[in-house]
Amino acid sequence: MKSKIIVIEDTQEDFESLKKTLPLEEYTLLHAPNGYKGIELIEEEMPDLVILDLVLPDVDGFEVCKRIRQDERFISLPILFYTSSGNLDNKLIGLAVGGSDFLIKGSDSREVNIRIRNLLRSKKMFDDVVKLSVVDALTHVYNRRYFQHRLADELERGRRYNREFCCIIMDIDNFKGINDTYGHPVGDLVLKRIGSLLRRNIRSADVLCRYGGDEFGLLLPETTSHGAFITAERIRTLLEKKDLGKPDNEIKTTLSLGISSLVEGGALGTDELVTQADVALYKAKQEGRNRTKIYGSHMEA
Ligand code: GH3
Ligand code: MG
C-alpha cells in the first residue's frame, strides 16, 4: 500500500519541485497551501508523513507542528520541516516543538528520499509495536490490557458527563468440549471465528476484547442496560445459529453473557464493573447457559 504524505507548502513551485524528486508510485501526495488547511487535511486523511514549510501565509510551521503534537492520534506521525535555510535557531525550535527532521529546499534528491524513507519506517515500526501491545494475537480483537485502559477512560467520562455505559462479559458455553472433540487448533479457529462475528456485529464506538481464554469483553459507551441487553441478545442468537466448523465439521456453540452498567449497578470503579458483569455471567451459566443476564444486587446473595 502506498504511504500517504501531506505537503503543507504555500509556494506552488516548491511543491512541484519536491514532487519531482519523489517516487510517486510509492507515495500518495496531498497538498495543502496553508497551515489551517494542512491541519484539516491531516485530521481527514490520517497521513503517514507531513512535510511542513516553515513560512506559511496564516500560521507558521512551528505552530502547525505544535497543534499536531497536541493531538494524541498523531503521536507517531513524523513531521519533516521543509525550509529554505539551515538557520540553527529555526532547527532548534522546530525540533523542540516536536519536528522529526529538517530538509533544506533544493537538497539532493537522494538525501530527500532517504530522510523520508527513514521517517516512514520509524512510524511503521512504532505503529506495529503499539498494535502488538493492544491486540490479541489469536483473534485480532483488543487484549485485556487495552480493555482495562478503555474501561477506566469510559468510567471517568461517564461520571464526568453523567453518561451511561455498559460492560458485557461473555463466555463460550462448554468450550472445553470443542477442544476435546476436535483438538486445540480447531478450538483456536472457533475462537477466531467468534471474534470476527462479534466484531462485525457491534458499533464502531464499542470496544471488544478477548478477556481471557474463551471469554470476551465488550464496552458499550453511551448505552443503557436495555440497549446492551438488545446487543447481547442479537449476538447470542446470531451465534447459536452459526456453523463455526465449515468446511470440515458442523460445530455449533453458544454464549452466556453478563451485563453491568455504570448507572444501575452503582459500580464504584473498573474492578466492580467487571465483577458485576462476571456475577451476572455466572448467573447465566447457573440458569442453564446460552442466555443474557443483567447484574442486580440480589444476585450476590
Ligand atoms: P462453561 O460453559 O462453564 O464456560 O464451560 P467451558 O468448557 O467453556 O469451561 P471454561 O470456560 O471454564 O473453559 C474455557 C476453556 O477454554 C479452557 C481452555 O482449555 C480453553 N481455552 C482457553 N484458551 C484457549 C485458546 O487460546 N485456544 C483454545 N483452543 N482453547 C482455549
Ligand atoms: Mg466457557
Question: 78 falls in which pLDDT band (50, 70, 90)?
Answer: very high
Share of the chain above pLDDT 90, in %: 86
Q: What is the pLDDT of residue 85?
A: 83
Instruction: Report the pLDDT averaged over residues 159-170.
Output: 90
Ligand 1 pocket, 206 CB below 6 A? no
| Average pLDDT value for the chain | 94
Question: Considering only 3-7, 40-44, 146-150, 243-247, which range has the smallest mean pLDDT?
Answer: 243-247
- Relative to the CA of 185, which ligand 1 atom is closest? 29
> 256 CA distance to ligand 2 centroid (A)?
8
Q: Is the model's pLDDT at 237 over the cut of 70?
A: yes
The C-alpha angle 257, 142, 198, rounded to 5 degrees, equals 45
Q: What is the pLDDT of residue 245?
A: 87
Question: Considering only 61-75, 133-147, 215-229, 256-270, which range has the smallest mean pLDDT?
Answer: 256-270
Ligand 1 pocket, 136 CB below 6 A? no
Strand 165-172: give its sheet, edge to edge: 207-210, 215-221, 165-172, 255-261, 292-294
Question: Considering only 102-111, 155-164, 204-213, 268-277, which range has the smallest mean pLDDT?
Answer: 155-164
CATH fold match for the domains 3-132 and 144-294: no
- Relative to the CA of 177, which ligand 1 atom is closest? 7
Q: What is the pLDDT of residue 217?
A: 98
Ligand 1 pocket, 171 CB below 6 A? yes
Can 127 be counted among the known catalytic residues? no
**Segments making up each domain of the chain, as ranges:** 3-132, 144-294
Q: What is the pLDDT of residue 267?
A: 62
Ligand 1 pocket, 183 CB below 6 A? no
Which pLDDT tens digit goes with each residue over 97-113?
A: 999 999 999 999 999 99
Tell me the C-alpha distance between 48 and 42, whole Å. 10
Assign a CATH topology to domain 144-294: Alpha-Beta Plaits (3.30.70)
Q: What is the pLDDT of residue 160?
A: 82
42: CB partners within 8 A, 6+ apart: 6, 50, 68, 74, 77
Termini Cα distance of the chain: 57
Q: What is the pLDDT of residue 163?
A: 85
Q: Which of 214, 243, 248, 278 is catalytic?
A: 214
> 296 CA distance to ligand 1 centroid (A)?
26
> 188 CA distance to ligand 2 centroid (A)?
13
13: CB partners within 8 A, 6+ apart: none
Question: Considering only 61-65, 129-133, 141-145, which range has the smallest mean pLDDT?
Answer: 129-133
Q: Which CATH number fits domain 3-132: 3.90.1310.10, 3.40.50.2300, 3.40.640.10, 3.30.980.20?
A: 3.40.50.2300
Burial 268-288 (b: 16+ CB within 10 A, else e): eebeebbbbbbbbbbbbeeee
> 214 CA distance to ligand 2 centroid (A)?
6
CA-nearest residue, atom 2 of ligand 1: 173
Q: What is the pLDDT of residue 268?
A: 74
Instruction: Report the pLDDT averaged over residues 219-235.
Output: 96
> 274 CA distance to ligand 1 centroid (A)?
19
Which pLDDT tens digit goes with each residue over 14-58?
A: 999 999 999 999 999 999 999 999 999 999 999 999 999 999 999
The C-alpha angle 298, 299, 301, rounded to 5 degrees, equals 70
Which pLDDT tens digit goes with each residue over 112-122?
A: 999 999 999 99
Instruction: Report the pLDDT averaged over residues 70-97.
Output: 93
Instruction: Report the pLDDT averaged over residues 58-79.
Output: 95
Q: Is the model's pLDDT at 219 over the cut of 70?
A: yes
Ligand 1 pocket, 181 CB below 6 A? no
Q: Is the model's pLDDT at 194 over the cut of 90?
A: yes
Instruction: Report the pLDDT averaged over residues 228-249.
Output: 93
Q: Is the model's pLDDT at 297 over the cut of 90?
A: no
Q: Is the model's pLDDT at 68 over the cut of 60?
A: yes
Q: Mutate which of 171, 174, 176, 240 to test ligand 1's pocket (most atoms within 8 Å of Cβ)?
A: 176
- Relative to the CA of 289, which ligand 1 atom is closest? 2
